[in-house]
Amino acid sequence: MFNPLKRLVSENRQRYASGNVDLDLSYITDRIIAMGYPSEGLEGLYRNHLVDVRRFLEKQHGKQYKIFNLRAEKAYDKNKFDGNVSDYPFRDHQVPQLEMMQQFCQNAAGWLDQNSENVVVVHCKAGKGRTGVMIAALLLYTHQAKNTEEAVAIYGKKRTTNGMGVTIPSQIRYIEYYQSILNGARLNHQPLLLEKLILQPVPIKYQGNGGRWVMFCIVDHNNNMLYNQSNEGCCMTRSDQKLIIETNGIGKLSGDFKVQFYYYQFWKKQPLCHFWLNTELENSSSIKLTKQWIDQAYADELCRDFGIDFTIELVFDSTSVSNHIDNT
Ligand SMILES: CCCCCCCC(=O)OC[C@H](COP(=O)(O)O[C@H]1[C@H](O)[C@@H](OP(=O)(O)O)[C@H](OP(=O)(O)O)[C@@H](OP(=O)(O)O)[C@H]1O)OC(=O)CCCCCCC
């Protein structure tokens, strides 16, 4: 039934509305469905209600649906869908572990291969960003999209009213990483040694001298600190054009990592921007990210100071890079 609050909360997502069904749910293909979280209690008042989702899926697909829950923050009793639920959790606005993308695709494609009537149903919270990452990966894995751009476009067109499905730069980067794995790229397990970060131009308000210092840390998927600039006492040098932060060669990185920039206001950490990278698929001694490849670089008021040509460059120790390349 039409519910104005649910419609408001589903924002730009395409809803499935037919007869007395009105769900935050979209068919990306005939056999791949994206939807919002099947909720209960208070959340069920403004998102898809679990009971409505179950009724819809059973009516349309009998017992031939399999649900994939990507929401790390919350879970429901799998028995409410007769146990036919698999979890591939990751956090809101973040990226999945690369291995998890492969496991998800194998599981989902295996289910689709078992019977031509089987469908997969993917959700996170809103069923937009994270759901889009995994469905784009599945479209690539099942050869229904030839590259990341096409996979993201198919998803955006079917899932949203304005084509804006997966929009977070790191999430798009991870679909690209996954595409390169499917294209035969070899993962390199040798760590890379982060030598320095170069911010160009110097963020205007955060240069010291009465302004606030830009700080950064590096974390893993569980938010465990891999490197913390404020503890390591690394050296910052500033010219008119750039801010160079030397890590003294102690930033040894392996696999997925997130670089988070922040500053302190009243002793509270205020995030500025961040990005995810994976060392296993990066083979160059420097990675330079323009603003459009940095997460939240537009959204946060403070990051406007970074200017349109703002770049963050990560420079790795050349020995670690050559060890890395020898191993590919
Ligand atoms: C009378 C109140 C009217 C409220 C109207 C709210 C209208 C409104 O803004 O609704 C939207 C909000 C937030 O909406 P959500 O709580 O659903 O949050 C969305 C979710 O994080 C998506 O990530 P994911 O789960 O798909 O991975 C994200 O997409 P992405 O990761 O791609 O950026 C999207 O960002 P985006 O907006 O696309 O930038 C978020 O808005 O809903 C609520 O906060 C729940 C409100 C609960 C209200 C409870 C009332 C009982």
Sequence-ordered list of residues with C-beta below 8 angstroms from that of 319, at least 6 positions apart, any chain: 193
The pLDDT, as a whole number, for residue 210 is: 47
Write down the domain spans for the chain.
4-183, 192-323
What is the distance between the alpha carbons of residues 288 and 281, in angstroms, rounded to a whole number?
15
Backbone angles phi, psi at 271, to 5 degrees: -70, 145
Domains 4-183 and 192-323 alike in fold:
no
Question: If you count them, how many residues does the chain have?
Answer: 328
CA angle in degrees (0–180, nearest 5) for 109-142-36: 65
For 49-84, letters b (16+ CB in 10 Å) and e give bbebbbebbeeebeebbbbbbbbbeeebeeebbeeb
Q: Find the 296 Cα to ligand 1 centroid distance in Å.
A: 16
Strands (E), 201-310: 215-219, 225-228, 236-238, 243-253, 256-265, 268-278, 286-290
In angstroms, what is the span from residue 51 Cα to ligand 1's centroid?
Answer: 21
Residue 130 CB less than 6 A away from ligand 1: yes
Over residues 220-265, the pLDDT tens digits come to 999 999 888 766 666 777 777 788 888 876 678 999 999 998 877 7
- Give the mutation target among 92, 95, 174 for probing the ligand 1 site: most ligand atoms within 8 A of CB: 92
Alpha-carbon distance of 16 to 108, in angstroms, equals 22
Query: For residues 280, 283, 285 and 286, what is the CA-based torsion angle, rounded to 10 degrees?
Result: -80
Residue 209, pLDDT score:
47
Q: Residue 216 Cα, ligand 1 centroid: separation in angstroms?
A: 28
Ligand 1 pocket check for 34: Cβ under 6 Å: no
308 lines ligand 1 (CB under 6 A): no
* Residue 320 Cα distances to 1, 222, 225, 282, angstroms: 59, 25, 21, 12
Q: What is the pLDDT of residue 13?
A: 98
pLDDT one-digit tens code per residue, 17-45: 999 999 999 999 999 999 999 999 999 99
Contact 84, 67 (CB under 8 A): yes
Q: Which ipTM was obtained for this model? A: 0.94
pLDDT at 205: 54
DSSP 98: H
Report the alpha-carbon distance of residue 298 to residue 160 in Å, rounded.
Answer: 21
d(CA 175, CA 256): 14
Q: Does domain 4-183 have CATH number 3.20.20.210?
A: no
**124 ligand 1 Cβ < 6 A:** yes
Backbone angles phi, psi at 316, to 5 degrees: -105, 155
Level-2 CATH architecture, domain 192-323: Sandwich (2.60)
User: Any idea which residues carry the catalytic annotation?
Assistant: 124
CA of 6 to the centre of ligand 1 (A): 11
What pLDDT score was predicted for residue 43? 96
Q: Which protein residue's CA is at the shortest distance from atom 8 of ligand 1?
A: 9
SS3 275: strand
Nearest of 268, 310, 265 to residue 289 by alpha carbon: 310
pLDDT single digits (tens) 119-160: 999 999 999 999 999 999 999 999 999 999 999 999 999 999
